[in-house]
Structure 1
Amino acid sequence: MWLDIVFIYAVFVLFGLVILKPVADRHIVSTAKYELTAIEHVMDQLREKLGYLTSAHITSLSCEEVTTLLRSEVFKSDVIKEIGLFRPSGEVYCTSSDLGNSFYLYKTIMDRLHENGVTLSYTKSKMTDERSVFLMFLGESKHGVSVVIPPRYIQRLLERSEDGVFYDVEVISRKIAERSDDSLGIDVFAQESKYYPLGIKLHTYTGYYIHYFVTHIWIGLLLGGIVSVVRVRYRQSKVSDATLESALQNALIDGEIEAYYQPIVNSQDRTIVGCESLVRWKSASQGMISPGIFIPLAEELGLVDDIADLVLASAIDMLTKNPELFEQRYISINISRSQILRKEFVYRILHDLKPQPHIARKLVFEITEEINFSSEERQILREHLEQISKIGLRVAIDDFGTGYSGLDFIRQYTFDVIKIDRVFVNSLGSDSTLIPLLQSMKGIANSFNMSVIVEGVEEERQVKILAELGFNHIQGFYYFKPMPKQELLTLLGQSPLNESHSKK
């Protein structure tokens, strides 16, 4: 018996070694994306903050008048070492260090500026004696700003890299921050910026994989313990459950994970006003696997962000390619607690959607009411919601009424939509206490100028009662079940609905 138990544990430990290597690699890819996004965010902030220096008012002033202003910007920043202003010809005519004589930027730099409006360089110049990172960008007047950033600041941004992971940072293929030995590394993971001539490489060493395996080995040990208790009779079924971890990783690669969409209908005129994006796993070997099984597993394996990225990318792609079908419609996406609190997720959203306000306005992020946040997390949540709201993206509070702090939650944060949970609909018509509750929720929504969606509606009598109470935006099986992308697009081309679409 003991040999049997030892064998089972050994199998699960080896199984963990096999599946955790690609999971650890995916984690490193996410880390590289985050590190790169953090650097890009610094560059974006500098451009936004210093963009006024290219205005006609500033460029019309003499260098003597501008120098004090430039020095003030340097003094206030822990990023900037020097600032220079240059004319459309590339002549740097004024700097915060007041060099006296002007000089010209290299032609290769000016060519990149004329092509993209912004560029980076890593070199020496008359503005600094040591090699530094130069952020250069043009304003509408074609006057430009050159910002000197010490390499040590970039290095400080990357100090949070994990044990056993080292990095190289490159600007126009020149290394500015290097902490790696290629001869000793196991793998290299590279990411290139879409917006700047900037790249980052993360080198993984043996210590990283050992640490990652030790941290996550409890998954294999737990499964091994369960199997050893029931021994041979349940061994095959438990091993099958364990292979879900590996299957989930392969499912992402093979395209088995996809977004489904459940339409939201205006019951007054039977038009589709939007839809909620839901993730589905259609396994080639096991058929449809419930989100209740694979979403918690994805959270344990660090794959939930990959799945969320897939759902978001699918929604953006559909909005971009089918503008005529979504002219008056939107897509809502469920956002987890970890995502909305993570800075790199918000940075990525701002990066991708700020240049596309017409897409951002057609997206709604759903946050569940029952999530509990600490006081520190509430402050982070407020900041992140404000940032994404500024680009036109709307936010909904999901499962409203099921938590303990619903009213306090919507009082503290700006939400655009309330989604009422199905528990207030299931017994509608037979439970007289539900109607006053729904009326109260409607009053709360009206007082905060929020629209309302009722979820989980399955019967015609529920639709009629809700309409009498003033609830017209309905989501549920009475109208539609979640459906694949192509089926949704076909349906949207037929809206408004006819009677055959009810009770699907």
Structure 2
Amino acid sequence: MFGSVTALVPYKKKVLFYYGFLSLLISIPLFTVSLYFFLLHDLDNKAKAAENILITQMEGIFSELKTVVDSAGLSCQEEDATRLKRLVFYSPTFKELGLFDKDFRVFCSNYGVVNIPIFSSIVTRIESSAGRKTVSLVRSKSLGEATFFAFYQGENGIGVNGLAPPIRFSTLIDPIILPDYFYELTIGKRILSSNRDGMDSDIWNKKVVSLDDWSVTLDVFLPSNLYWQRLYSFAPFIFAVWLVLFLAFYTAHLISVYYRRSMRHCIRRAIKNAEIDVYFQPVVSLNPGESLEMEALLRWQSLHHGYVSPLVVVKVASELGLMDELTWVVIRKVGAFYREYPDQLIDIKTSVNVDRFSLLKESFAPKLASILEEYPELKGHLGLEVTETSVLNHDELPLMVSRFEHIKALGIGLSVDDFGTGYSGLDFLRRFPYDTLKLDQVFIANLKDDQFTRQVLTSITILAKELGMKLVAEGVEREDQLEAVRLLGVDRVQGYYFCRPLPKDQIITWIARNNSIENAAK
């Protein structure tokens, strides 16, 4: 016992280590891969949000510029400059406005008359744009730094350009993207970057947003350091997932072990794998010179449940719909027994218990015939015992008689087991008498002290002899019971008085010893 317990401890440690390691293999990749795809999804959402902000901003900018062009002329009088100053004062975006002509020369601004040519690259973009509009980053003389310019040319040939500090866009985009991600906003041909120091990190992915109508491109980057920061912050959650997975796997393991060790599963497996043992109990004739008979009785020693009563095995097999399979297992083992000891068993018949509802199946007799072909040693040696447990209805009675005829045609004897405990009617016995009628051991146990039982058994004995049936008294354990059944005229006895059920090697020894005693007596 201590050895098995000692061996169990390393096994449990091994199981715990296995499921712990398996949970780790799942939880870490689960989080690392999931986090990466989550950040990609988040990157996409941030880029779309920034795109919507930029579109709204650019539409507002060019709507404002269109308003300026619609009321502008080619003159630059004081009132024209004043009007531009007023527009700049109320503009949410621009710090300076200028008008340009069809030759793309700025001739008027909110500061007065000017004469500044627009860069040819900007002119090209204006002319190639479907809406005759574009933006650019150029160095402003008035602001002394890279400045955002928006250009728009109306249908009348007059155009307007607006100047604004680039921070205008940063204040819109930064709250959406920073500090997790980094971006580069390309306006025209120049880049407005969010934070170049952050770009020192490895870039694992990026999302590109292009506003082609306005020559604006936004690149949003996923830096590697963000991934590692998030992964480190999720360490407690990774541990929690690992623990949940470990508990789930180990619980499933325990449930699986419990199921594999459950009575129903073990019996199912034992039947499927033919792990059921067969013991044999002699049926001794009280008439000198008559052959010995035996009954095959199933026995099962479970690895997890120890010895299990045959009644439990039969009950569970019936519930699982495996009674037929159980019957074939027992018959085949009886066949193997006869094949192993042909000389010792040459004159001995062995009966096997069969569920009467199995006999009603059309496939039963053909299957039995195929087993007789498989084990020809059984021919003339096999009998079937049908337990008297359930009443047959009007339709089943003739069907059972037909099945019995098929079985008798195979040379197989029939007996009714545990007679008196069920519902077998006298009419059924008369219509198709069995070869043997076995009296239930309940009657034998009460035979000595119960006058009524003796009267019933006397009537049954007379009936059996009238029908040409052999009688077997089951459960004979004492000499007084043996004498009582002998006085009733019972010619065969089965019980512990002569021999308990024995495995095949021991029953062969018993048969040999019994034959020796019988020969010596002769």
TM-score between the two structures when normalised by the length of structure 1: 0.48
Query: Greater relative contact order (Cα 8 A, min sep 6): structure 1 or 2?
Result: 1
TM-score w.r.t. length of structure 2: 0.47
